[in-house]
Structure 1
Amino acid sequence: MSKKIITVFGATGNQGGSTVSAILNNPSLSSKYKIRAITRDPSKPGARALASKGAELAKADLNDIGSVKSAIAGSYGVFAVTNYWETTSKSGEFQQGKNIVDACKDQGIKHLVWSSLPNVTKMTSGHLTKVEHFDSKAGVAEYAEQVKGDLIVSYFMPAYFMSNLPGQIRVDPETGFPTLSMPWNPTTTWLPMIDIRSDTGLYTAGLFEAGSEANGVHVQGVSEWVHPQQITDILCQITGDEVCFVEEPASIEDAARMGNRIAEELTQNMILIRDYSYFGKGTDKKQAESDRFLVPAAKKSTWKDFAEKVQWQW
């Protein structure tokens, strides 16, 4: 029996790469699915490495729906992720996602797994309106639900990247200690985190396996829920250094006064975590609903697992 083709956008990146690895490195999954890896440049080492593992390489321009249709033709499933930060355009990212949805409909794809996020403006009843890189992806999900018809669409929503933290912990010039400064309460804020390269594929491959059971499902992609103080306490244990967490004040008004659109967006993003636990109030208690879609016998990374692999330099 021929294998079903799973076309993966961003195949050499974090989420796409993790999806590819989860399938190719799992004998049960690799016996069912063949990977078509969409990359910008198939000649680059990362792309050639995928080809050496049996992936088919292809190129596509997300701004050109004809290109997307050609790239996914003949596929059973598609994993799609877009990058808001390339253009910082909410409308541009929405159009790319819409192109993917429309192309999947046109080509008769059976299952689309879309990398999405919550609609922050709606979730916060208009309290936070500037977190565009969430709202643009959520807009694509809303569009997909309106038009999908027989297309199965599942939504993977990645949590806060653990890989962000090495660049955010800096030496405080006053104390001399490595310090993480964020507008979060150290012991009551719930922060969902994901080892994006390791754990994305555990969810996305699991969604493909779930098939119609995963239709319309929004999965919280979380490796571990932690309080901010736990982040630095674990680093103290690992490194033997004094690593501190400092709660810094932040408000919507402060963010608006920055006069910088991206800085305002990122500040509201941190307030989202503080006041709404990223996915919404109380969502830390609902993680098991998402984890039932993990591939069988999956072992997610903890913050300690991730931190032990980092060469910490203060």
Structure 2
Amino acid sequence: MAAKKLIAVCGATGNQGGSVAKLLLRNPEQYVVRALTRDPTSAPAQALATLGADVVRVDLTVPTDVNEALQGCWGVFGVTNFYDPKIKDDPESEERQGKNLVDAALAAGVRCFVWSTVPSSAILSGGRLVSQVYEGKYHVTQYIQETGLPATFLYTGNFYENMVYRSHMVYHRDKDQVEFLQPIVKETTELAMLYVEKDLSAITKAVFDHWGTEHAELNHKFLYCANARLTPLDICESVKRVTGKSCVYTVLPTTHVPDRDIMLHLYNEMGMYGAQEIPDEHVLKLGVRLHDIDDFVRSRLAPHLGLPVVG
């Protein structure tokens, strides 16, 4: 029987890391999860511990914390959170956190590092629209390439879950109508959409699963983690199709986070990922079944809004 692989999961109490940790924990014959979090006493951290995770307190800004946490790990799911207060107050901290992870992974001899990232906004826009939401992660990607750390890069999409976690969708009971409120993004802008809980986790696990036999193909490969490009109006149509309720789109003027505003203006001008075919054939070859907007509305959004599913 093959030995179980120890995987360190960053941001294990967040959307991305949490989805990866929970999926790996459902496969205890293959993986052991070391869940990295700043607060092991939090309810999400304790829930992971109940599921069998080794929950470890780690501050990614402290190299000694990271070095200790990655000892003995075969794999790592790496992610940094721009909206972490430490990073919002000091945007360059995101790059430092990511590089601390890379250095610790190299020192620990990690065999497979999966890095959640995005391209450079500066390069995409010719220097006109530079968002630190993008640049910190991009610089870490470059660092991984320079150091030669064995890794796969996951280009994330726009998260379906933002409709829930950022309250972008509201049901107005008095009007019997759903309103989709989103900052800056035009109703005709196509976004590469990702169901993090179902699909980012599945893609990450697939990389870990296939690493032994497809290492040469997956090493330093960029995988685009989105199932489709959709406009806000497409999303409104799905809400109507699935719940039977009319849905209107409202554009808000700002996110109140300047770097995020720049990112969304970039989407309006450049789209997401240019001419890249979505879904990515390389993701599909890993055997991942991606979920679409109707799947998300049925499973997450409709229950969140307290609406029945009719379609």
Confirm or deny a common fold (TM above 0.5). Answer: yes
Contact persistence 1:206–1:293 (CA under 8 A): no
Contact persistence 2:39–2:57 (CA under 8 A): yes
2:39 maps to which of 33, 38, 41: 41
Letter in 2 for 1:48: Q
- Within-5 A mapping of 1:171-186: 178-180=179-181, 183-184=184-185, 186=187
Counterpart-to-counterpart distance in 2, 1:121 and 1:108: 32
1:230 maps to which of 218, 227, 234: 234
Cα 1:264–1:59 change in 2 (3 A) is closer
Letter in 2 for 1:274: N
Whether 2:272 is the aligned partner of 1:268: answer: no
Counterpart-to-counterpart distance in 1, 2:242 and 2:197: 21
Counterpart-to-counterpart distance in 2, 1:176 and 1:5: 49
Counterpart-to-counterpart distance in 1, 2:170 and 2:54: 42
Identity percentage of aligned residues: 27
Cα 1:2–1:269 change in 2 (3 A) is same
Counterpart-to-counterpart distance in 1, 2:282 and 2:269: 22
Alignment match, 2:61 = 63
* Superposed displacement of residue 247, structure 1: 6.6
Alignment match, 1:306 = 296
Letter in 2 for 1:10: G
Letter in 2 for 1:204: T
Query: How many residues are treated as equivalent by the alignment?
Result: 291
Cα 1:11–1:293 change in 2 (3 A) is farther
Contact persistence 1:180–1:232 (CA under 8 A): no
Cα 1:240–1:176 change in 2 (3 A) is closer
Letter in 2 for 1:312: L
Contact persistence 1:224–1:301 (CA under 8 A): no
Cα 1:65–1:191 change in 2 (3 A) is same
Whether 2:257 is the aligned partner of 1:215: answer: no
CA displacement, residues 203-228 of structure 1 (integer Å, 9 cap, x when unaligned): 11112223222111122211432232
Counterpart-to-counterpart distance in 2, 1:264 and 1:44: 30
* Superposed displacement of residue 293, structure 1: 5.9
Cα 1:62–1:227 change in 2 (3 A) is same
Cα 1:184–1:59 change in 2 (3 A) is closer
Alignment match, 2:80 = 82
* Superposed displacement of residue 181, structure 1: 5.4
Letter in 1 for 2:58: A
- Within-5 A mapping of 1:224-263: 224-245=228-249, 263=257
Counterpart-to-counterpart distance in 2, 1:47 and 1:179: 31
Alignment match, 1:132 = 132
Letter in 1 for 2:246: E
Alignment RMSD (CA, Å): 2.7
Contact persistence 2:37–2:59 (CA under 8 A): no
Counterpart-to-counterpart distance in 1, 2:110 and 2:68: 12
Counterpart-to-counterpart distance in 1, 2:210 and 2:3: 20
Counterpart-to-counterpart distance in 1, 2:61 and 2:182: 38
Letter in 2 for 1:272: L
Counterpart-to-counterpart distance in 1, 2:109 and 2:22: 25
Alignment match, 2:202 = 202
Counterpart-to-counterpart distance in 2, 1:119 and 1:142: 10
SS of 1:243's partner is strand
Letter in 1 for 2:29: S
Whether 2:50 is the aligned partner of 1:52: answer: yes
Counterpart-to-counterpart distance in 2, 1:179 and 1:207: 34
Cα 1:121–1:33 change in 2 (3 A) is same
